[in-house]
Chain A
Amino acid sequence: MHIPDGYLSPTTCAGFYAGMTPVWATAGRAVRRVVRTRFVPLLALGASYSFLVMMFNVPVPDGTTAHAVGAVLVAILLGPWAAVVAVSIALLIQALFFGDGGVLAYGANAWNMAFVMPMVGYGVYKLIARRCPLTARRRAVAAGVASYVGLNASALFAAIELGVQRDLFRSANGTPLYAPFPLWQTIPAMLLAHLLVAGVVEFALTFGVISYLQRANLPVLRINHRGIADRSPTRATAEPRSDSEPRPGPASGPAPGTRPAWRWAVVGLAAMVVLTPLGLLAGGGAFGEDAPRDLDLRKYGLQGVPRGLARYSGTWSRAVLDGYGFGSGSHPGVAYVLSAVVGLGAIGVIVFGGLGVGRVVSRRRSREVA
């Protein structure tokens, strides 16, 4: 999945560097706040580990072997932000030292494998594992599924990056300047390989490592799972040996390390926002959304526009950005992106305004009760 230099245009590469800079800054700050002076050695060893995980050959049934990326594994063990930094550094060493993945394309590779993959994977992991005990089998399965989903999300991003080059960058006579494959070719090619082979390998390794650590090295698993019980309470009472460790009971409330579950929904939405400009490349229109004047009447065997449709279709004619464009029809690309920004802003105002009102009301009510 390492994209070499020459496949992506310099503007795409610059865009991904620009996109990754705040991610790296946030990741660095987030990790440093938690581990303080331990920051450097922890991340250095994490980066060496994620470099070496890519070297483990996992046997696949037909007798061949394949490698895993391991970004989701690192995210589960050290936390997603630490994984961002660790995998980025592993990729940098690969690019600079082993010529694996380009130097200009490093931003794009880091975006796919060091940001999308651990973040998506960790989100899926949290969603499935929830607060089940540390030694539960469900946690290992969740880790496996998360790595499978994360890897495929990452492959999808790589496919999109490669696939859009052809339509965006051409010379005067239509010669594609960079990766010459269309989207309909890159997406199936990347996803087929990753859904069927690489994803399975990733699942096997992540599932295997987590279940090994559950058996053999629970303290390591506790690093990123503060406030989660080792065993389910019923079994814990049967085994009084484990009472030597303080375990947060239900009365102690949520541990300080836990974060609201909707955080991951926000990450998913942010990814969709970033993908919005893809709509500029899509051709054709959606079924059943044509304006009456654009209807292909002959196709549906109609003589004229149905009366009801003609009457009610013009009920609201004061849209600001009609058809996601300016009224004059100029600068369709800018107008499309502007429409997206305006739409997002409107939704954000409604959602966060609603949440704020709800919070104020509930706070007042709880104060009245007190």
Chain B
Amino acid sequence: MSPATPGWLLRPETGLCPCGCLGKRRKGSYVEKTIEGGADLLRRVMFTDDVAARDGLLQRVDPRVKVLGLVALIVATACFRHLSALMAMYALASALALASGLSVAFFLRRVWLFVPVFTGIVVLPTTCSFLTPGTIVVPLGTWFGSPVGLTNQGLTSAGLVVFRVATSISLVVLLTITTPWPRLLDALRSLHVPRMFVLVVGMAYRYIFLLLASVTEMYTARKARTVVDSRDVAGGRGFVSASAGALFGKAHATSEEVHQAMVARGYRGNARTLHRMRLGPFDLLFALMAVVVIASLFGADRLVRV
């Protein structure tokens, strides 16, 4: 699988939030952007498949142990009160990434392109004494007689938030990029997440790609029909609404067909699965390491007073 995906298909772009609330705003045609968005989604999926197929440390761990271990690390990250504990956790995440065959450049880019854009800029004003009163360490002058500057508390708080976000994102990336999606769902199921829920998630994930193909076809056809790149906003909105409406029609028709196919194969409303997962000594070692790391970092974090 891994050598099948050529490098140019996986060229990374800034990790943006699909809700559009952050990231760079390129002025481009909505048609092209939607097609690019679809391609970007596929690119990420292919990249994840490639990474999950590599032979690395995290790829060898049983998905159940990995889910529990990494979620415990994320919870511990959320509980830390010292910058040094967070930094240690970040270093640990980077080491895990290296041991799992991820390039350092990718790992840093995936996290630090996102963090400064959103977190960094938003957090910046709170380092000032206006928003976070405290001991001023970098004086910036006076305002109506009272000194103004960056406070110790403000800077520490900004550092805490930035590192916490970066570490949590790194850990989630590690979990999802080293586990094939079906294995992740298997793990969730054997951890007693309701079976029906896991079934719906799995099926939803599968049909995203089918529906994405229809979207890409609609938009490519639109692009093929477009002679001049006009800025017809109202017409564009009409097209977007119509394509979203048509997509819903398609999705609903597909769900009916899928339902009939399921019933025809004997589905009576219960999910049945085959699962054969066995814990090896390697998994126990990983779990033990996770417990030791969390206990020691957490202990150090709570014993040292601010």
Residues of A within 8 A of B (CB): 1-2, 4-7, 9-10, 13, 28, 36-49, 51-61, 63-67, 69-70, 73, 77, 85, 89-90, 92-104, 171-182, 185, 193, 198, 204-205, 207-213, 216-217, 220, 223
Check A97/B176 contact, CB under 8 A, given A60-B233, A103-B71, A172-B306: yes
Check A48/B237 contact, CB under 8 A, given A59-B30, A180-B132, A182-B131: no
Chain B residues lying within 8 Å of A103, measured Cβ to Cβ, are: 71, 74, 168, 172
Stretch at the interface among B92-100, B136-144, B251-259, B283-291: B251-259
Answer yes or no: B101 CB below 8 A from chain A CBs.
no
The answer to whether B37 touches A180 (Cβ under 8 A) is: no
The answer to whether B251 touches A45 (Cβ under 8 A) is: yes
Check A57/B30 contact, CB under 8 A, given A48-B208, A96-B184, A97-B181: yes
Task: Quote the shortest CB–CB distance from A84 to chain B (angstroms).
Answer: 12
Interface centre among B78, B237, B254 (most CB of A within 10 A): B78
The 6 nearest A-B residue pairs measured at CB: A208-B241, A5-B168, A6-B164, A44-B203, A6-B165, A47-B204
Interface centre among A9, A36, A205, A208 (most CB of B within 10 A): A208
Chain A, residue nearest B33 (CB) = A57
User: What are 28 A-B interface contacts by the 8 Å CB criterion?
Assistant: A1-B21, A2-B17, A5-B164, A28-B196, A42-B259, A44-B203, A44-B206, A44-B207, A44-B258, A45-B255, A56-B244, A57-B34, A58-B236, A59-B231, A61-B233, A64-B27, A89-B200, A96-B176, A101-B17, A174-B132, A176-B126, A180-B132, A180-B158, A181-B126, A208-B238, A208-B241, A212-B241, A216-B245
Chain B residues lying within 8 Å of A54, measured Cβ to Cβ, are: 18-19
Answer yes or no: B134 CB below 8 A from chain A CBs.
yes
Chain B residues lying within 8 Å of A1, measured Cβ to Cβ, are: 19, 21
Chain B, residue nearest A51 (CB) = B208
Chain B residues lying within 8 Å of A198, measured Cβ to Cβ, are: 20-21
The answer to whether A46 touches B251 (Cβ under 8 A) is: yes
Given contacts A37-B268, A56-B244, A212-B244, 6 further A-B contacts (CB under 8 A): A44-B258, A101-B17, A176-B160, A198-B21, A208-B237, A216-B245
The answer to whether A174 touches B196 (Cβ under 8 A) is: no
Answer yes or no: B240 CB below 8 A from chain A CBs.
yes
Stretch at the interface among B1-9, B57-65, B149-157: B149-157
The answer to whether A52 touches B215 (Cβ under 8 A) is: yes
The answer to whether B132 touches A209 (Cβ under 8 A) is: no
The answer to whether B200 touches A56 (Cβ under 8 A) is: no
Chain A residues lying within 8 Å of B263, measured Cβ to Cβ, are: 37
The answer to whether A177 touches B251 (Cβ under 8 A) is: no
Interface centre among A45, A90, A204 (most CB of B within 10 A): A45
Q: How big is the B interface, by class?
A: 35 or more
Task: Quote the shortest CB–CB distance from B215 to chain A (angstroms).
Answer: 6
The answer to whether A40 touches B199 (Cβ under 8 A) is: yes
Which residue in B34, B172, B255 is a CB contact (below 8 Å) of A55? B34
Chain A residues lying within 8 Å of B114, measured Cβ to Cβ, are: 99
The answer to whether B15 touches A99 (Cβ under 8 A) is: yes
Contact bitstring B14-50, A, C-beta under 8 A = 1, else 0: 0101111100010110100110011001001100100
Task: Quote the shortest CB–CB distance from B291 to chain A (angstroms).
Answer: 18
The answer to whether A65 touches B30 (Cβ under 8 A) is: yes
The answer to whether A174 touches B134 (Cβ under 8 A) is: yes
The answer to whether A178 touches B215 (Cβ under 8 A) is: no
The answer to whether A5 touches B157 (Cβ under 8 A) is: no
Which residue in B165, B181, B306 is a CB contact (below 8 Å) of A4? B165
Check A174/B153 contact, CB under 8 A, given A37-B267, A43-B200, A198-B21: yes
The answer to whether B158 touches A41 (Cβ under 8 A) is: no
Chain B, residue nearest A9 (CB) = B78
The answer to whether B207 touches A45 (Cβ under 8 A) is: yes
The answer to whether B247 touches A59 (Cβ under 8 A) is: no
Which residue in B41, B126, B172, B242 is a CB contact (below 8 Å) of A208? B242
Contact bitstring B167-210, A, C-beta under 8 A = 1, else 0: 11100110110000100100000000010110111011111101
Interface centre among A42, A49, A90 (most CB of B within 10 A): A49
Answer yes or no: B276 CB below 8 A from chain A CBs.
no
Which residue in A57, A77, A95, A176 is a CB contact (below 8 Å) of B240? A57
Q: How far is the CA of A6 from the CA of B114 in the complex (A)?
A: 14
Chain B residues lying within 8 Å of A46, measured Cβ to Cβ, are: 251, 255
Answer yes or no: B123 CB below 8 A from chain A CBs.
yes
Chain B residues lying within 8 Å of A100, measured Cβ to Cβ, are: 17-19
The answer to whether A37 touches B233 (Cβ under 8 A) is: no
Task: Quote the shortest CB–CB distance from A132 to chain B (angstroms).
Answer: 20
Answer yes or no: B243 CB below 8 A from chain A CBs.
yes
Task: Quote the shortest CB–CB distance from B16 to chain A (angstroms).
Answer: 9
Task: Quote the shortest CB–CB distance from A6 to chain B (angstroms).
Answer: 4
The answer to whether B168 touches A174 (Cβ under 8 A) is: no
